[in-house]
Structure 1
Amino acid sequence: MSVAHMSTAASVPAERPSTVYFFGTCLVDLFYPEAGLAGMELLKREGLRVVFPQGQTCCGQPARNCGFFEEARTVVRAQFAAFPEPWPIIVPSGSCAGMMRVHYPQLFAGEPDQAQAEAFASRVYELSWFLVHVLDLKLEDKGEPVTVTWHASCHSMREMGITDEPKRLLRSLSNVTLVENPRERECCGFGGTFSVRQPEVSAAMVADKIASVEATGASEMVTGDCGCMMNISGAMEKAGTPMRSRHLAEFLLERGDVR
């Protein structure tokens, strides 16, 4: 199935927003808070007011993927309550953004909350897409020369249509050399519950991913999804691979000053 067929493309708001919501995601909250903080700081440096609702919880994807649709709808309704204002909702994860933008309307099709789900979904933006297309982010590189490669998450590509946006941001940094990985679009083997239900297959997939990443000769791997980063970096650590893995937001914030 093609990216264009599966994705629900975001559209640039008619006016540049002054206030946005930030959805933290479970993995950011529990394992990679620095990625979420970096994402919020990038938005703030562009002059935006960033609101982080304390009542936000899981996006509902684990329940939905396991077939617990009513339980997933209960979780989603909590997000409706946590993000009541008509502001854009910025998500530092293609997986969670895809769940919210693509699957919320499907989950509530024919339900009383369908219109609310569709309105909510229309406000969801993946972070790198928002930085490129809405904010036109320009950064001045203050870091030392470094060679990186990009890992594209499945959900970012196939549900959110995110393909070149992260790499445009990386290429804009003068001291960063982006080395293309011919196999960057191959799944890392995480897939949420897939890695639990099919551990042997998942392990083989991440081993292939690590081999392709190492073959680029880059010193760092950058990605925009913490699920992929957790899976790949964990496997790298077990294998003794010295390469560093970073979330895009953290990498950009560390290296760049807003021009």
Structure 2
Amino acid sequence: MKVQLFIPCFVDQIYPETAFNSIKLLQKAGCEVVYNPNQTCCGELAYTAGFWDEAKELGLKFLQDFSDDCYIVSPSATCSGMVKNGYHDLFTNSTVHNRCRNVQGNMYELSDFLVNILKKDYFGAELVGTAVYHEACAAKHLFTMKDEPRQLLEQVGGLEIIDLDENDARCGFGSTFAVKYAEESVSMAEQRVQAALTARADYIISTDSTCLLQLQAYIDKRQLPIKTKHLADVLTSGWANI
């Protein structure tokens, strides 16, 4: 199966290892991975900040960079959700309406694609420790993610997943929210990290690098004994030992 890989700008610039692990994961699942080096951004940051003209320009480039006749997979629920749902606002009844709908129909977040399209949830990963799964706002509301990440994490050898009571807790990033409302943003990150520490978790795992960036910044500044990891990095952990 041929799969086009979309790497969000945050992953490309800050977490490149997540991009490479996404490729390894898809290849292990039997996919032929195609990467277009001309790709840039889906336009989500501009869109949520209210700059729809700029978001549309980026969206048009996205529609040009990706074929509409095969799957597009991304290690980000936020960016996948932007393409799948946000593009309705930008391109409905436009000259690219039909092409946009075709691309939207082929757009998948990584865990959704692995579980629901490839029907695979075991990849031989091993990571000893306890973890909490942080559900990104976009994963729940924009992409409408369900239990796919947890299903994959349950198959990781040595990893215990702890459920927190405050499942709706936010990381505080929220695109430009972290810049406009810095104090509130830090307070949200503190709540999420402290809840994980109280649960004695070793890791906070998420599908979105923006959430990890926000939480890891709080952790690093205070030198706290917990780490953040992207789902793709967890699912490729321990492969050298297999």
Q: TM-score, normalised by structure 1?
A: 0.88
Q: Displacement, 1:172? A: 1.5
Which shifted more, 44-53 or 102-111? 102-111
1:143 paired residue among 120, 126, 131: 126
Match for 2:43 among 39, 60, 72? 60
RMSD: 1.7
Q: Matches of residues 1-259 of structure 1 in structure 2 within 5 Å?
A: 18-139=1-122, 141=124, 143=126, 145-255=128-238
| Structure 1 runs not aligned, ≥5 long | 1-17
In structure 2, C-alpha distance between the alignment counterparts of 1:215 and 1:136, rounded to whole Å = 35
SS at match of 1:222: strand
Distance verdict in 2 for CA 1:202–1:170, change over 3 Å: same
Q: Any conservation in 2 of the 1:152–1:163 contact (CA below 8 Å)?
A: no
Instruction: Pick closer, same or farther for the CA change 1:56–1:163 going to 2, 3 Å.
Output: same
Q: How many residues align?
A: 241
Amino acid of the residue matched to residue 52 of structure 2? F
CA shift in 2, pair 1:175/1:59, >3 Å: same
User: How much has 1:218 moved relative to structure 2?
Assistant: 1.3
Is the CA contact (8 Å cut-off) linking 1:141 and 1:175 kept in structure 2?
Answer: no
Identity %: 28
User: What displacement does 1:229 show?
Assistant: 0.1
* CA shift in 2, pair 1:104/1:142, >3 Å: closer
Q: Is the 8 A contact 1:80 1:120 kept in 2?
A: yes
Deviation at 1:139, TM superposition (A): 2.7
Distance 1:144 1:109 in 2: 44
CA contact (8 A) 2:68 2:106 kept: no
- Deviation of 1:144 after TM superposition, in Å, equals 5.6
Q: In 1, are the aligned partners of 2:127 and 2:157 still within 8 Å (CA)?
A: no
Counterpart contact for 1:141–1:173, Cα < 8 Å: yes
- How far apart in 2 are the matches of 1:239 and 1:51? 40
1:92/1:127 contact within 8 Å kept: yes
Residues in 1 aligned to 2:86 and 2:123: alpha-carbon distance in whole angstroms: 37
Whole-angstrom CA distance in 1 between matches of 2:125 and 2:7 = 27
Q: Give the structure 2 partner of residue 8 of structure 1.
A: none
Q: Is the 8 A contact 1:153 1:223 kept in 2?
A: yes
Farther-moved stretch of structure 1 (148-157 vs 112-121): 112-121
Q: State the alpha-carbon separation in 2 of the partners of residues 155 and 140 from structure 1.
A: 25
Does the aligned pair in 2 maintain the 1:93–1:226 contact within 8 Å? yes
Superposition deviation, residue 142 in structure 1: 5.6
Instruction: Label 1:214 to 1:86 Cα distance change in 2 as closer, same or farther (>3 A).
Output: same
Q: CA-to-partner distance for each residue in 1:42-74, whole Å, 9 max, x for gaps?
A: 000111100111111110112212222222111
Assess, with a 3 A threshold, how the Cα gap between structure 1 residues 144 and 126 changes in structure 2: closer, same or farther.
closer
